[in-house]
A and B are shown apart, each in its own frame.
Chain A
Amino acid sequence: MTQTVNKSLNPLPLKERMKVPRQPMPEQPPLLRAANFGEVNLGYSEELARQEAARCLECAKPICVNDCPVGVKVKEFVQLIVAGDFMGAAAKIREDNVLPAITGRVCPQEDHCEGGCLMGKKVTPLGIGYLERFVADYEQQHMDPKDIKKAPPSGKKVAIVGSGPSGLTAAGDLVQKGHEVHVFEALHELGGVLVYGIPEFRLPKQIIREQIDYMRAMGVQFETNVVVGKTVTINELMEGEGYDAVFIGTGAGLPQFMGIPGEHFNGVYSANEFLTRINLMHAYEFPKYDEPMVDFRGKDVAVIGGGNTALDAIRSALRLGARKAYVLYRRSEAEMPARKEEVKHAKQEGIEFHMLTAPVEFLADDKGWLKAARCVRMELGEPDASGRRRPVTIAGSEFDLPLSVAVIAIGTSANPLIQSTTPGLATNKRNYIEADVMTQRTSRRGVFAGGDIVTGSATVILAMGAGRRAAKSIHEYLTTGSW
């Protein structure tokens, strides 16, 4: 269903719109939510959504659309909300984005659509993420799976490796072109970082399940428990199982440790393990679920790092009963890569931010359980290769921070499994897969790659953008046969 909106249905004159601030997102009160895993943001009502949508200036050349990595037609879907056609708005978003309920919740909108919004220059940017989320949730509640259309079969088969946002996006786009799409996932659950990394209070698992069910209804087939490179290789998929093309979207899943003494002590976790236990394995629901976790109640916990992962980990620890919950970050708050909304939420919940602080050693009791982190204070020096000012240790600033649990969230790197089992697949010196920035083609004919496994850890929407470009060039390759 495509709809074009010619004339504005917006009752508010432009001048008035400029004066209205953004409709706040209803949320669970900080003290209440700090003790549960329920979603923090509760979502707009229809009324709030229409009020917020009415703020859109309907720019002739919308910057928001340009700034969106998948080119969601923001102005058009917002106009449909104003008109009260929420299903039309959903269809409009789906033309470019197969996972709107997810991006509406976790995209760093300030870096994309909302970043350039003209309203932001006057008052506050249009709540594009909030509106996207509203429309996606509305669609979920009101759609009839029978309305999902299947394309006529093309006779071509595509394997997608990894069910994170890049893989899901590629799968969704390709199935709509009539290709037979099989997604292979190493874990028992589908969704990649969305299920094993991002916690329930930011992105309920139910949302991901619904998006995946939607893709199933479109005809995508999923096979879990397949570690490509171990259970089956790319060559075997292409030669033995008849796949005409393969997309690799395996993410940057290898945890980095700091290489400081004491990282092997009990109570020191990688963020991946910590979050996987809690999210994928539901350790926060122990003993209803079998996967155990250390008992956080009354304990002091710190996370090391300043990204979304770090905040997800520490906010989870808080919800599991931690007495003190710290973020230790070696730069200053301005450099923190986390979404701004998450930083705000974390502070409201009582997380303590210790900027310009880094551990240099972990200390344990005689049974090997963590009891403190020896830390140093930093100051910012000259800019480094990333353009951010380099943190430099202040001499003599050492101090011990008593801790029972420390979570290391300083980043991830490429898992070498596929690279090492796929002859002729070119990688860069950090072992990420080389892929063309426009076509996502790798050095192997018929093999495409995108998302974190190409760029290093980035964002959901950038991974989706790569999945989308890959789907387009896979379709071209399958129809023309030329490489």
Chain B
Amino acid sequence: MFKIQHAEFIAPGIKRFVIEAPRIARKQQPGQFVILRLYEQGERIPLTIERSDPERGTINIVVQSIGKTTNLLNSLETGDSILDIVGPLGKPSEIEKFGTVVVMGGGVGTAMAYPTAAALKRAGNRVISIVGARSKDLVIEENEMRAVSDALMITTDDGTYADKGFVTDKLRQLIDNGTRIDLVLAVGPIPMMRAVADMTRKEHIRTIVSLNPIMIDGTGMCGGCRVLVDGKSEFACVDGPEFDAHRIDFAVLVQRTSMYRAAEQQSMEDFRREHDSLLARIRAEQQEAECALQGGGR
């Protein structure tokens, strides 16, 4: 059981959790993730660690409600607990002095790009950040990103905040203005990362993306998270989650992440119908576990 010390929505449908997980907090490095499971019947899902506090023994995750599990997770509040969290998993981001780095965050991807942006800045890079969201209220981590960036640009798809357009428009501008870019890091929805990869391939700019395929164990045991890198299978959970964008087969990534679409939709419908009883079940499990703990079990 992992206690939620604090939970708050930072945008509609996007919630930040501060969770007690001392072992993970001690070891976490930027770019790594956890896998969690909410209750006995739950599935395991990967989530990037936004930051951690080794002294207080906490980790932060930022979660967007998409499917059943993320919706259910975002129904949990301060004081609730999460049944299982394992991590930190995956390889840490490669942090060194590259020169000028463009960090691009799309939607909730911004929260995942943040720890790496901060580390790149600490390593002495010039960090130019581009943050994109569908509309104004979905722009997240603006202040955090500003604090670790030499320049910050924001786009919204509908133009309700900052500049109307996509993050790739800003990247295009930077390139066209002749900005010397040594590395691009892009974290966000697959179409965004793919568009970035296509743009930078032509410019020969090294580009890193953080992939989030379907996972189960996160330790290299199942192979379900495999992605095609230069035509060969690699496991995102242990060989990634960050990969060279120009070597990734995005079409296969899209195909594999859609594998359970039908089942996911069914789960989502069940969730809408059974939200209250599910939440009650999770809380009952939490109580049971706490009693067992007090009784010296587990």
Using a CB–CB cutoff of 8 Å, the interface residues on chain A facing chain B are 186-188, 196, 216, 222, 224-227, 230-232, 253-255, 257, 263-266, 269-270, 272-273, 276-277, 280-282, 286-295, 367-368, 415, 417
Residue-wise interface mask of B (1-31) relative to A, using a CB-CB cutoff of 8 A (1 in contact, 0 not): 0000000000000000000000110010000
Q: In the complex, are the beta carbons of A276 and B256 less than 8 A apart? A: no
Q: Determine which of B42, B68, B216, B218 lies in contact with A273 in the assembled complex, contact meaning CB atoms within 8 Å.
A: B216
A294→B270 CA distance, assembly (Å) = 18
Chain B contacts with A in 232-265, Cβ cutoff 8 A = 233, 238, 252, 255-256, 258-260, 262-264
Q: Determine which of B84, B86, B217, B263 lies in contact with A293 in the assembled complex, contact meaning CB atoms within 8 Å.
A: B263
Q: Determine which of A227, A232, A264 lies in contact with B233 in the assembled complex, contact meaning CB atoms within 8 Å.
A: A264
Stretch at the interface among B139-147, B186-194, B220-228: B220-228
17 further A-B contacts with Cβ under 8 Å, apart from A282-B41, A368-B256, are A231-B86, A232-B23, A253-B219, A266-B259, A269-B223, A270-B223, A270-B224, A273-B224, A277-B224, A287-B263, A289-B41, A289-B42, A290-B68, A292-B43, A292-B263, A293-B263, A415-B221
B266 at the interface (CB under 8 A from A): yes
B83 at the interface (CB under 8 A from A): yes
- Chain B residues whose C-beta falls within 8 Å of the C-beta of A288 in the assembled complex: 41
Q: In the complex, are the beta carbons of B27 and A231 less than 8 A apart? A: yes
If A231-B24, A272-B222, A293-B263 touch, does A281 touch B216 (CB 8 Å cutoff)?
A: yes
- Chain B residues whose C-beta falls within 8 Å of the C-beta of A281 in the assembled complex: 43-44, 216
A205→B255 CA distance, assembly (Å) = 34
Q: In the complex, are the beta carbons of A290 and B42 less than 8 A apart? A: yes
Q: In the complex, are the beta carbons of B270 and A227 less than 8 A apart? A: no
- Chain A residues whose C-beta falls within 8 Å of the C-beta of B84 in the assembled complex: 188, 224-225
B69 at the interface (CB under 8 A from A): yes
- Closest residue of chain A to B261 (Cβ to Cβ) is A292
CB distance from B295 to the nearest CB of A (A): 12
Q: In the complex, are the beta carbons of A287 and B233 less than 8 A apart? A: no
Q: In the complex, are the beta carbons of B220 and A254 less than 8 A apart? A: yes
B89 at the interface (CB under 8 A from A): yes
A226→B85 CA distance, assembly (Å) = 9
Q: Determine which of A187, A222, A264, A269 lies in contact with B217 in the assembled complex, contact meaning CB atoms within 8 Å.
A: A187
A232→B258 CA distance, assembly (Å) = 34
Residue-wise interface mask of B (198-226) relative to A, using a CB-CB cutoff of 8 A (1 in contact, 0 not): 00000000000000000011111111101
Q: Determine which of A266, A289, A415 lies in contact with B255 in the assembled complex, contact meaning CB atoms within 8 Å.
A: A266
A232→B217 CA distance, assembly (Å) = 17
CB distance from B259 to the nearest CB of A (A): 5
If A226-B86, A287-B270 touch, does A417 touch B220 (CB 8 Å cutoff)?
A: yes
Q: In the complex, are the beta carbons of A186 and B219 less than 8 A apart? A: yes
- Chain B residues whose C-beta falls within 8 Å of the C-beta of A269 in the assembled complex: 223-224
A396→B192 CA distance, assembly (Å) = 46
- Chain B residues whose C-beta falls within 8 Å of the C-beta of A280 in the assembled complex: 216
Name 14 A/B residue pairs within 8 A (Cβ), A-sorted.
A187-B217, A188-B84, A230-B89, A231-B86, A253-B220, A255-B223, A273-B223, A276-B222, A281-B43, A288-B41, A291-B44, A292-B267, A295-B262, A415-B221
Q: Determine which of B216, B218, B252, B267 lies in contact with A287 in the assembled complex, contact meaning CB atoms within 8 Å.
A: B267
- Closest residue of chain B to A189 (Cβ to Cβ) is B84
If A232-B23, A290-B43, A292-B260 touch, does A186 touch B86 (CB 8 Å cutoff)?
A: yes
B88 at the interface (CB under 8 A from A): yes
- Closest residue of chain A to B254 (Cβ to Cβ) is A368
- Closest residue of chain A to B32 (Cβ to Cβ) is A230
If A264-B228, A291-B43 touch, does A231 touch B259 (CB 8 Å cutoff)?
A: no
Q: In the complex, are the beta carbons of A227 and B219 less than 8 A apart? A: yes
A368→B256 CA distance, assembly (Å) = 8
Q: In the complex, are the beta carbons of B23 and A231 less than 8 A apart? A: yes
- Closest residue of chain B to A186 (Cβ to Cβ) is B219
B37 at the interface (CB under 8 A from A): yes
- Chain A residues whose C-beta falls within 8 Å of the C-beta of B258 in the assembled complex: 266
CB distance from A197 to the nearest CB of B (A): 10
Q: In the complex, are the beta carbons of A230 and B223 less than 8 A apart? A: no
Q: Determine which of B37, B88, B216, B256 lies in contact with A231 in the assembled complex, contact meaning CB atoms within 8 Å.
A: B88
Q: Determine which of B24, B42, B221, B224 lies in contact with A253 in the assembled complex, contact meaning CB atoms within 8 Å.
A: B221
B109 at the interface (CB under 8 A from A): no
- Chain A residues whose C-beta falls within 8 Å of the C-beta of B256 in the assembled complex: 264, 266, 368
> Considering residues B219, B264, B298, which has the most beta carbons from chain A within 10 angstroms of its beta carbon?
B219
A415→B217 CA distance, assembly (Å) = 13
> Considering residues A277, A289, A290, A293, which has the most beta carbons from chain B within 10 angstroms of its beta carbon?
A290
CB distance from B55 to the nearest CB of A (A): 16
A226→B297 CA distance, assembly (Å) = 18
A417→B43 CA distance, assembly (Å) = 24
Q: In the complex, are the beta carbons of A276 and B266 less than 8 A apart? A: no
Q: In the complex, are the beta carbons of A273 and B222 less than 8 A apart? A: yes
Q: In the complex, are the beta carbons of B221 and A188 less than 8 A apart? A: no
A295→B252 CA distance, assembly (Å) = 21
A98→B44 CA distance, assembly (Å) = 31
A289→B255 CA distance, assembly (Å) = 24
CB distance from A362 to the nearest CB of B (A): 13
Q: Determine which of A230, A286, A287 lies in contact with B27 in the assembled complex, contact meaning CB atoms within 8 Å.
A: A230
> Considering residues B27, B37, B216, B238, which has the most beta carbons from chain A within 10 angstroms of its beta carbon?
B216
Q: In the complex, are the beta carbons of B223 and A272 less than 8 A apart? A: yes
CB distance from B30 to the nearest CB of A (A): 15
- Chain B residues whose C-beta falls within 8 Å of the C-beta of A196 in the assembled complex: 221
CB distance from B19 to the nearest CB of A (A): 12
- Chain B residues whose C-beta falls within 8 Å of the C-beta of A293 in the assembled complex: 260, 263
Q: In the complex, are the beta carbons of A290 and B233 less than 8 A apart? A: no
CB distance from A303 to the nearest CB of B (A): 15
B87 at the interface (CB under 8 A from A): yes
Residue-wise interface mask of B (249-290) relative to A, using a CB-CB cutoff of 8 A (1 in contact, 0 not): 000100110111011101100100000000000000000000
- Closest residue of chain A to B257 (Cβ to Cβ) is A266
Q: Determine which of A226, A255, A263 lies in contact with B222 in the assembled complex, contact meaning CB atoms within 8 Å.
A: A255
Q: In the complex, are the beta carbons of B87 and A276 less than 8 A apart? A: no
> Considering residues B27, B223, B233, B298, which has the most beta carbons from chain A within 10 angstroms of its beta carbon?
B223
A196→B222 CA distance, assembly (Å) = 10
Q: In the complex, are the beta carbons of B255 and A367 less than 8 A apart? A: yes
Q: In the complex, are the beta carbons of A294 and B259 less than 8 A apart? A: yes
A196→B19 CA distance, assembly (Å) = 27
Chain B contacts with A in 34-52, Cβ cutoff 8 A = 37, 41-44
A255→B269 CA distance, assembly (Å) = 34
- Chain B residues whose C-beta falls within 8 Å of the C-beta of A257 in the assembled complex: 223, 233
- Chain A residues whose C-beta falls within 8 Å of the C-beta of B264 in the assembled complex: 292
CB distance from B17 to the nearest CB of A (A): 17
CB distance from B282 to the nearest CB of A (A): 12
- Chain A residues whose C-beta falls within 8 Å of the C-beta of B216 in the assembled complex: 273, 276-277, 280-281, 291
- Chain A residues whose C-beta falls within 8 Å of the C-beta of B37 in the assembled complex: 188
Q: In the complex, are the beta carbons of A188 and B86 less than 8 A apart? A: yes
- Chain B residues whose C-beta falls within 8 Å of the C-beta of A289 in the assembled complex: 41-43
- Chain A residues whose C-beta falls within 8 Å of the C-beta of B222 in the assembled complex: 255, 270, 272-273, 276
